[in-house]
Chains A and B, each alone.
Chain A
Amino acid sequence: MDKNITMDKMKVGQSATIISFTDEVMSLKLLEMGCVPGEVVILERKAPLGDPIAISVSGYLLSLRIDEACTVVVSIQD
């Protein structure tokens, strides 16, 4: 069963599919960097203090802060 969460709730090593965005301005930036709905992302690592996080998307590593990640809705495949 799929379940939708925001990206900041993902666990290290987990993969998920991008569903939608909750912040319009932020979404434009993420879209042009290749975070488009349907794309699979993997949470590669978290910074030692839990923020920022690094995800791999479309073949490269992208880092973003927790408050940016929580504007991305993803679906986790169980």
Chain B
Amino acid sequence: MGNKKIKVALVGNPNCGKTSLFNALTGLNQKVANFPGVTVDKKTGYCQLTDAYGNDIDAEIIDLPGTYSLYPKSMDEHVTFQLLCDPRNALHPDITVVIADASNLKRSLFLCTQIIDLKTPVVLALNMMDLVEKKGLVIDIPMLEKKLGIKVIPINARQKVGIEELKLAIAGDLTAPRADFINIRSFAPEVVDLIQKTTHVNSDYVAFQIANNYELIPFFKENPHKKEIIKSFLEEHNFKSSNLQAAETLERYKILTEKVIKDVVVQKDVIQKKQFTSKLDRILTHKVFGYVFFLLILFLIFQAVFAWSTLPMEWVQQGFQKLREFTQNTLPPGFFNDLLVNGIFAGLSGIVVFIPQIAILFTFIAILEDTGYMARVSFIMDKLLRKFGLNGKSIIPLVSGVACAVPAIMSTRTIQSWKERTITILVTPLMSCSARIPVYTLLISMVVPNRYVLNSINLQGLVLMGLYLIGFFTALFAAFLLSFVLKAKERGYYIMEMPVYRMPRWSNIGITIVEKVKIFLFDAGKIIIAISIILWALASFGPGDRFKNIEQKYSKTEYTSTLSSQEIKHHIQAEKIAASYAGSFGRFIEPVIKPLGFDWKIGIALITSFAAREAFVGTMATIYSVGEEDSHQSIKEKMMADINPQTLKPTYSIAVGYSLMIFYAFAMQCMSTLAVVYRETKSWKIPVFQFAYMGVLAYCASFLVYHLFK
């Protein structure tokens, strides 16, 4: 016989230590999926429990998004409401664990009393008892249990104190609370009766909650006639949801203040000393030192993501290079060899190479979140960035975007407001990322003279800096425009708790990194692999016998006698890519990109750049039959020697060079970014829109630049 299985939901305010408790209960035995139909991540984990009789129980722990009350105000809170207040929900828990910040007892207990009134088995885990002591307070636990009518376990989730006791309590025979905390029936007796009759729920409070939010309950979507009955009944009885919500909240706080807190919390010592947090805030939110400190942090993050990741990224690339060479030489040549080496391994390498940057950025993000500093970043940056429709926290993804948009977009999750987060995601790829650098340097070396102006400023460096600035200011401007275009799905609040400063917990940071890497590898990775294979196929096959003819042509003695085998290989590659589907596509789009000064060869590079922008350089090398192993210099010389057959002028004029640079600055040419945007927004709408708006922007800007310089 299998073990007994139970579902346990973890509920609590934001910053109450819920994640720490979840990690302490489940360890690495957790996974992230989505709640059906919404963009909210569902974190579940498993925990083995043993009850008092020695029987094993398998507990599935669901970590619900942090919330201050059951009334849903955001998408995250919809999920919590649906899970807890709809007994028909597949994830409706057998036991609810409320985790409360004991140093913020009243506010934490407010949510707890709502859960109590749902009348499902509940246990209260009282966290941060160490902070209570520091405040000079004592909490009378048995008295609290008596007042609330539920079991209360003091814990310290960071130090894993009280976890075993909590597990024992969950495994024990928890019964539903017997008494209501407040008499909700008296607020709207007829309505409570009607809902109980139509939906067969027992608890008065569940019925009351359903009356307030019946539109979110799937049962009523499936039974529209019942929904109509309730709707007209509520109107008939003049059921004013927001008035009743306010009345309920006031009633709960009144009872908590007058009947619970007064008897449960005793002030033991009077602490005069200003708290540590307050002292630190005086510096970290100071009008000078606050920004200086934040700039230092930004600089550190930037350095880390940019520089520290170079070495591990090289290892990944070299490792894959070795694997590709080994496979190419070991397996018999042919279709599968090529697919494996240039399609799948190339794609995999393109995915794994992001891991160092993701891990490094999330180490910092996790530390900023865990210490409580992220709330201060928001506090000091909010007014500046709000003007552009962004959030104070948007500055971190924007700056990280200069290294790479992929981890940057994953880090927007700290922004609660849907609208501000979406705008941040949409504009972050406009920041010039490190993959653009090889493209910029090649083009700049071709069209900008290596001269000094005013004796000290290098012209090439000046243009490079200009490209970065253009990216940054365009991102801000685009955000500003988007803030008018995007419609908020819910009313946004800034209102936010500023948590006390705490030391980061290294195990939590480790778990965050593993979680983010897993999300990227498995969710975005499969899209990247699929696109890599398509790109490989486009460049490796051509219509008809074109490829065969090229090989035949170069096997003739007129070539083999005059050219070295290396040169022949390069010529074959160059003609093949021109003859491939990618080449055909390049010719096909030539009329469209001609107004920008681009020819079909650039058209091919625009397509291959979709794997990663720096592929531009490699593609140019192939097209101009230079080996990739050759230096920048030879690619540059070949490109500059190219003559346009129609105008008989060099293809890469100054105008084309600048136009191409601007195109690379603005266009959304990165499949990995699009894949990650899809993962983070859980819909194709945002990535498709992003691709379109950045494409139009790039096209128009390049058009202007080309005609300006021509």
Contacts and interface: CB of A to CB of B under 8 A. Distances in A.
A52 B384 CA distance: 11
Nearest to B290: A48
Chain A contact residues, majority secondary structure: mixed
A60 B104 CA distance: 7
Interface residues of B, number: 43
A25 B107 CA distance: 19
Contacts of B249: 28, 31-32, 36
A65 B495 CA distance: 7
Interface string A20-44: 0000111111111110110000001
Contacts of A47: 285, 379-380, 382-383
B496 A32 contact: no
A28 B110 CA distance: 13
Interface in B584-605: none
B285 A48 contact: yes
Given A47-B380, A48-B287, A60 B245 contact: no
Interface stretch (B68-76, B347-355, B504-512): B68-76
Chain B contact residues, majority secondary structure: helix
A15 B291 CA distance: 28
Q: Which of B282, B491, B498 counts the most chain A CB atoms within 10 A?
A: B498
30 contacts: A24-B242, A25-B491, A26-B493, A28-B246, A29-B73, A31-B249, A32-B68, A32-B110, A33-B107, A33-B497, A34-B106, A47-B285, A47-B380, A48-B286, A51-B382, A52-B383, A54-B281, A54-B498, A60-B103, A60-B104, A60-B497, A61-B497, A61-B498, A61-B499, A62-B498, A63-B378, A65-B386, A65-B494, A65-B495, A68-B493
B367 to A, nearest CB: 20
B379 A54 contact: yes
B106 A33 contact: no
Contacts of A49: 383-384
A68 B287 contact: no
A26 B246 CA distance: 11
A23 to B, nearest CB: 10
Interface string B417-443: 000000000000000000000000000
A58 B71 CA distance: 21
B104 A59 contact: yes
Interface in B130-173: 135
Given A28-B71, A48-B287, A59-B106, A64 B382 contact: no
Interface string B51-76: 00000000000000000110101000
A34 B242 contact: no
Interface of A: 24-34, 36-37, 44-45, 47-52, 54, 58-65, 68
B253 interface: yes
B382 A65 contact: yes
B277 interface: yes
A33 B253 CA distance: 10
Given A32-B71, A61-B497, 14 more contacts: A26-B493, A30-B495, A31-B246, A32-B249, A34-B110, A34-B253, A44-B281, A48-B291, A51-B382, A52-B494, A59-B106, A61-B281, A63-B496, A64-B496
Interface in B368-418: 375, 378-380, 382-384, 386
Contacts of B246: 24, 27-28, 31
Interface string B223-263: 00000000000000000001001100110010000000000
Contact of A45 (B110, B285, B291, B375): B285
A49 B493 CA distance: 19
Interface in B18-35: none
Contacts of A34: 106-107, 110, 253
Interface in B74-128: 103-107, 110
A62 B285 contact: no
Contacts of A58: 104, 106-107
B187 to A, nearest CB: 15
